[in-house]
Amino acid sequence: MHAIGDRGNATVLDLFEEAFRNVPPNVRLRDPRWRVEHAQIVRPADIPRFAQDAVIASMQPSHAIGDFHFAPARLGDDRLHGAYAWKSLLKSGAVVVGGSDAPVERGDPLIEFYAAVARKDLKGFSAPNWHAEEALSRAEALKLFTAAPAFARFAEDELGTLKVGKRADLSAFSVDLMTAPEAEIPKGHAVLTVVDGQVVFARP
């Protein structure tokens, strides 16, 4: 399901809960791993429901920096408490998946990673009401784009981590995502891409 606003997300969670009541676990064919695409603005009271209902929050960190200059005026400060709430969702126990929403956003994984850990626009600007406490650690952000998406598509035994026996799907960048200064992350570029064990791109 796609839901962006706070009422939309609450309604989707209500519908999921109704479906789960009507189809109890003992009669389901498999664990559905349903998810909400975007989950951008969530009422703080609804954040724990994602974990309680085992609903995945599939989010795009770049929305938080793309929306930064107009969302506060449109949402008001109160709604910002549950806006782009990656950290709160993770702390509640929910699975949070990172994506790009391309072509709405640029689809650049380095911008997505930067947005998740910096929670600032590409010029390094933020504001007190933008809730810096919702930024992720580097390790949390890395999982957002690797292990979590693999889990969301039932592929955690094949993809998402570097492990013997798994398919080698990976990218290497010119910047160390785990140690580089925040501002340097979006300035990097891909130097190697491997898909299913085959090198499909290597920068000279």
- pTM for the complete prediction? 0.94
Q: What CATH superfamily is the domain 2-157? A: Metal-dependent hydrolases (3.20.20.140)
For residue range 162-194, list pLDDT tens digits in order: 999 999 999 999 999 999 999 999 999 999 999
If phi over 0 gives left and psi between -120 and 50 gives alpha, with beta otherwise, what is residue 143?
alpha
CB count within 10 Å of CB 23 equals 12
pLDDT at 30 over 80: no
Residue 129 contacts residue 68 (beta carbons within 8 Å) = no
Domain boundaries defined on the chain: 2-157
- The per-residue pLDDT for range 133-168, each reduced to its tens digit, is 999 999 999 999 999 999 999 999 999 999 999 999
Share of the chain above pLDDT 70, in %: 100
Instruction: Report the candidate in 26, 23, 97 with the shortest Cα–Cα distance to residue 58.
Output: 97
In the three-class reduction of DSSP (H, G, I as helix; E, B as strand; rest coil), residue 190 is classed as strand
**Amino acid making up residue 174:** S
What is d(CA 58, CA 86) in angstroms, rounded to the nearest whole number?
10
